[in-house]
């Protein structure tokens, strides 16, 4: 979830000051998709980005233009919404929030700050509102940490803003909690070998902007190397069978295919539901819906467009769906289908995953 570029920052300032009317952006969605505003930034907050959903509530992190290394000493706000877009409460965390994910085993909210350096992690129990702060040791890649995924009993974090080019440090680490510390172990090197999906050739990576992450329908980690205009797919992570694929990203222009930078990606898990995505310039969270989604389909926020589009995981081509945006970022699919396991914790994993944080209950 890369910091806003100079151009986008300037647009944000002009929009906030009223010098650019909101109609300039004219957000539209292609048929049969429908676009509505889920929520606008509460007074005094700006730059919504990361989104997480827990027990029928939506959590949105606001960046407010603070420094992404936390050196300004300021705090960001995590706003909790009901599904109708009304505000429930606000949590304050020290530093610049970027990653925001729900632990599916404990139902605790993991809030990751300072993607450029000096990272910290806050874990929130949203039932009791109790918060616990964790810190990281010195990073091998010289930067901070950006996003989180949970896979089985393991937690993975993207190692962002590497200091060296080529990036000889880790781009992906596994993490475990020990006391008040987050201990990490390298999983994927920034210069690892990978298979390029469109050409089927073996290539050497140079991941200079590891950023947002998610899991695909098969449980593979999908890591966005944002400034490199590519997705990295890691199967069987942290094992002898680990396998790495690269998917260069592009979209079709009148002059032909063009590389495009993206931020968050989400995959549809049900035919019933909708997508929520945030725009840091327009200071709003949008709802993208249709009568039926195709399970397994990927959607991504192409901040380099800027647009939100459907992602072809074979070619890497993104087809724009929502245009007229400022700087789309955080994105999540909200599954509204009813399953027998809804709203119940995974007790089997609860018993097996001993490295999670139980102190926040």
Residue 358 lies in a domain: no
Question: Cα–Cα distance between 117 and 160 in angstroms, integer?
Answer: 9
Q: What is the pLDDT of residues 183-230, one digit of tens each?
A: 999 999 999 999 999 999 999 999 999 999 999 999 999 999 999 999
Residue 17 lies in a domain: yes
Tokens of 153: 């009993």
Instruction: Determine the pLDDT at residue 353.
Output: 79
Q: What is the helix (H) or strand (E) element at residue 57, kind and residue range?
A: strand 57-62
Q: Are strands 170-178 and 154-160 parallel, antiparallel or unpaired?
A: antiparallel
Cα angle at 340 between 336 and 342, to 5 degrees? 50
What's the farthest any 2 CA atoms get from each other in the chain? 56
Q: What is the pLDDT of residues 117-159, one digit of tens each?
A: 999 999 999 999 999 999 999 999 999 999 999 999 999 999 9
Instruction: Determine the pLDDT at residue 26.
Output: 87
Handedness of CA 86, 91, 94, 95 (dihedral sign): negative
Does 21 have pLDDT greater than 80? no
| 25-29, 68-72, 134-138: least confidently modelled range | 25-29
Q: Running DSSP on this structure, what letter comes out for residue 113?
A: E
Q: Domain holding 162: CATH number?
A: 2.120.10.30
Does 301 have pLDDT greater than 60? yes
- SS3 labels along 284-341: EEEEEECCCCCCCCEEEEECCCCEEEEECCCCCEEEEEEECCCCEEEEEEEECCCCCC
Q: Which of 221, 305, 325, 234 is nearest to 265 (CA)?
A: 221
Q: What is the pLDDT of residues 328-359, one digit of tens each?
A: 999 999 999 976 544 444 545 556 676 665 55
CA distances from 81 to 99, 103, 110, 280 (A): 18, 18, 17, 17
Q: Are strands 193-196 and 243-248 parallel, antiparallel or unpaired?
A: parallel
Number of domains in the chain: 1
Does 107 have pLDDT greater than 60? yes
Does 15 have pLDDT greater than 50? no
Instruction: Determine the pLDDT at residue 356.
Output: 64
Tokens of 245: 């694929």
CB 259 within 8 A of CB 250: yes
Q: Are strands 181-189 and 130-136 parallel, antiparallel or unpaired?
A: parallel
Does 360 have pLDDT greater than 90? no
Q: Domain residues for 31?
A: 6-352
Residue 357 lies in a domain: no
Instruction: Determine the pLDDT at residue 23.
Output: 43
| 16-20, 246-250, 275-279: least confidently modelled range | 16-20
Instruction: Determine the pLDDT at residue 338.
Output: 72
Residue 147 lies in a domain: yes
Residue spans of alpha helices (H) in the chain: 6-16, 347-352
Rounded to 5 degrees, φ, ψ at 171 are -100, -20
CB 115 within 8 A of CB 128: no
Q: Which of 1, 78, 64 is nearest to 303 (CA)?
A: 1
Tokens of 28: 């539209």
pTM, two decimals, is: 0.91
Q: What is the pLDDT of residues 214-226, one digit of tens each?
A: 999 999 999 999 9
Instruction: Determine the pLDDT at residue 6.
Output: 42
User: What average pLDDT does range 11-17 have in this prediction?
Assistant: 44
What is the band of 24 on the pLDDT scale with cuts at 50, 70, 90?
A: low
Q: Running DSSP on this structure, what letter comes out for residue 3?
A: P
Handedness of CA 110, 190, 278, 322 (dihedral sign): negative
Q: Is 161 left (phi over 0), alpha (psi -120 to 50) or beta?
A: left
Q: Are strands 318-323 and 328-335 parallel, antiparallel or unpaired?
A: unpaired
Residue 360 lies in a domain: no
Residue 131 lies in a domain: yes
Instruction: Determine the pLDDT at residue 19.
Output: 40
Q: What is the pLDDT of residues 312-324, one digit of tens each?
A: 999 999 999 999 9
Tell me what percent of the residues of the chain surpass a pLDDT of 90: 86
């Amino acid at each position: 979830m890369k910091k806003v570029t100079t151009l986008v920052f300037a647009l944000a300032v002009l929009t906030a000051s009223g010098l650019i009317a909101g109609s300039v952006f004219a957000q539209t969605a292609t048929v049969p998709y429908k676009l509505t505003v889920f929520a606008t930034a509460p007074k005094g907050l700006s730059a919504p980005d990361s989104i997480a959903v827990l027990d029928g509530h939506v959590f949105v992190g606001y960046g407010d233009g603070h420094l992404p290394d936390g050196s300004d000493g300021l705090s960001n706000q995590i706003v909790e919404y009901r599904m109708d877009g009304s505000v429930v409460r606000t949590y304050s965390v020290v530093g610049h929030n970027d990653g925001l994910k729900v632990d599916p085993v404990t139902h605790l909210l993991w809030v990751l700050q300072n993607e450029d350096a000096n990272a910290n992690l806050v874990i929130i129990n949203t039932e009791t509102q109790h918060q616990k702060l964790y810190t990281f040791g010195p990073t091998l890649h010289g930067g901070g940490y950006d996003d989180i995924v949970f896979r089985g009993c393991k937690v993975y974090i993207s190692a962002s803003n590497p200091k060296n080019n080529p990036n000889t440090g880790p781009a992906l680490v596994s993490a475990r909690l020990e006391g008040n510390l987050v201990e990490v172990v390298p999983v994927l090197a920034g210069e690892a070998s990978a298979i390029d999906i469109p050409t089927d050739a073996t290539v050497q990576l140079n991941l200079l902007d590891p950023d947002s992450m998610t899991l695909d329908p098969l449980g593979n980690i999908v890591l966005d190397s944002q400034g490199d205009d590519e997705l990295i797919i890691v199967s069987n992570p942290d094992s002898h069978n680990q396998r790495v694929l690269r998917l260069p990203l592009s979209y079709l222009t009148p002059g032909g295919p063009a590389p495009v930078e993206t931020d968050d990606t989400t995959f549809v898990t049900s035919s019933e539901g909708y997508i929520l995505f945030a725009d840091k310039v327009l200071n709003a969270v949008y709802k993208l819906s249709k009568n039926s989604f195709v399970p397994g389909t990927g959607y991504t926020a192409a901040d380099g467009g800027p647009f939100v589009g459907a992602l072809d995981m074979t070619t890497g081509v993104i087809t724009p769906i929502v245009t007229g945006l400022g700087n789309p970022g955080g994105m999540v699919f909200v599954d509204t289908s009813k399953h027998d396991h809804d709203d119940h914790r995974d007790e089997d994993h609860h018993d097996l995953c001993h490295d999670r944080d139980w102190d926040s209950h």
